[in-house]
């Protein structure tokens, strides 16, 4: 009986821990569950938050661009070679676009979430995910984004987006996601 109680206590505690944890910060998510991401993006895009920033100079990226699928800001994933944290020329451009936007909006912050593919050991991949996110962070900082606007998280190989076990899937999983909090 004592055993059952202790196990229930553990289960309860685990639930409490989960309950206290902050919500996933993902594209388009505010304080709702991650599952609502898709609908949030389309509905809240036209929300009143946008208006408060107003239009900026010609060609400048506005807050609204965050929800515009045609905006260069919609590219939010950087990809890597196996066991590598070097950033490709193409992804450098992606970073530049975001860096320009973030420099103009110091009130907005991002999470750089690093990931690895399933190959190699889990702990090493956790470190590799962080190394990738930090490599991206360096480029953001060089382009004038404040360190306070960036948070680094690594999930290693624990959160693959592609579940197959081939190079096509691995390429998609070796990534850094640029996540805007609140957008």
Partner 1 sequence: MIKKIIVLVLLSYWISFQAHAVLTIEITQGEDAGAPIAVVPFSWTGKGAPPEMIHEIIAADLRRSGFFNPLAEKDMLAKPDSAQQVKMKNWRAVNVDAVVVGNITAMPDGTYQVRFQLLDVYKGTQLAGYSISSRKPQLRRTAHQISDIIFKKITGQRGAFDTHIAYVTSSIDRKKQRTYRLAVADSDGHNEQTIYESRQPLMSPNWSPDGKNLVFVSFSRKRPEIYIQNILSGEIKRLASFKGINSAPVYSPDGKRLALTLSKDGNPEIYTLDLKTNKLYRITRSSAIDTEPTWMPDGKALVFTSDRGGSPQLYRIEVGSTGPVGRSKRLTFDGKWNARAAVSPDGRYLAMVHREEDKYQIAVQDLKTGHFRILTNSRLDESPSFSPNGSMIIYATEDNYRGVLAAVSVDGRAQQRLSLKSGDVREPAWSSYKQN
Residues that bind partner 1 (CB under 8 A): 3-4, 6-11, 13-14, 17-18, 20-22, 24, 83, 118-124, 126-128, 130-131, 134, 152-156, 158-159, 165
Contact 110, 177 (CB under 8 A): no
> Which residue carries 């996601």 as its tokens?
177
Assign residue 164 a region: left if phi > 0, alpha if psi is -120 to 50, beta otherwise? beta
Closer by beta carbon to partner 1, 73 or else 136: 136
Closer by beta carbon to partner 1, 73 or else 160: 160
Smallest separation (angstroms) from partner 1 to the CB of 93:
26
Smallest separation (angstroms) from partner 1 to the CB of 147:
12
Output DSSP code: residue 114: E
Closer by beta carbon to partner 1, 28 or else 129: 129
Smallest separation (angstroms) from partner 1 to the CB of 143:
20
Closer by beta carbon to partner 1, 50 or else 83: 83
What spatial distance separates the first Cα and last Cα of the chain, rounded to whole Å?
49
E-strand ranges in the chain read: 77-79, 110-115, 150-156, 175-180
| CA-based torsion, 15, 19, 22, 28: positive or negative | positive
Smallest separation (angstroms) from partner 1 to the CB of 109:
15
């Amino acid at each position: 009986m004592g055993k059952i109680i202790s196990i229930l206590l553990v289960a309860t505690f685990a639930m409490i821990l989960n309950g206290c944890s902050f919500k996933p910060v993902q594209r388009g998510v505010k304080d709702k569950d991650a599952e609502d991401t898709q609908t949030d993006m389309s509905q809240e895009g036209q929300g009143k938050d946008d208006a408060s920033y107003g239009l900026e100079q010609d060609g400048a990226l506005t807050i609204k661009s965050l929800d515009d699928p045609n905006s260069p800001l919609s590219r939010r994933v950087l990809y890597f070679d196996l066991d590598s944290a070097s950033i490709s020329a193409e992804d450098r451009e992606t970073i530049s676009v975001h860096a320009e936007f973030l420099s103009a909006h110091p009130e907005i912050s991002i999470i750089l979430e690093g990931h690895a593919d399933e190959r190699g050991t889990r702990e090493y991949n956790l470190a590799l995910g962080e190394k990738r996110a930090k490599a991206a962070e360096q480029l953001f900082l060089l382009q004038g984004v404040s360190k306070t606007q960036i948070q680094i998280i690594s999930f290693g190989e624990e959160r693959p987006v592609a579940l197959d076990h081939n190079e096509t899937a691995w390429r998609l999983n070796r990534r850094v996601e640029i996540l805007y909090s609140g957008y």
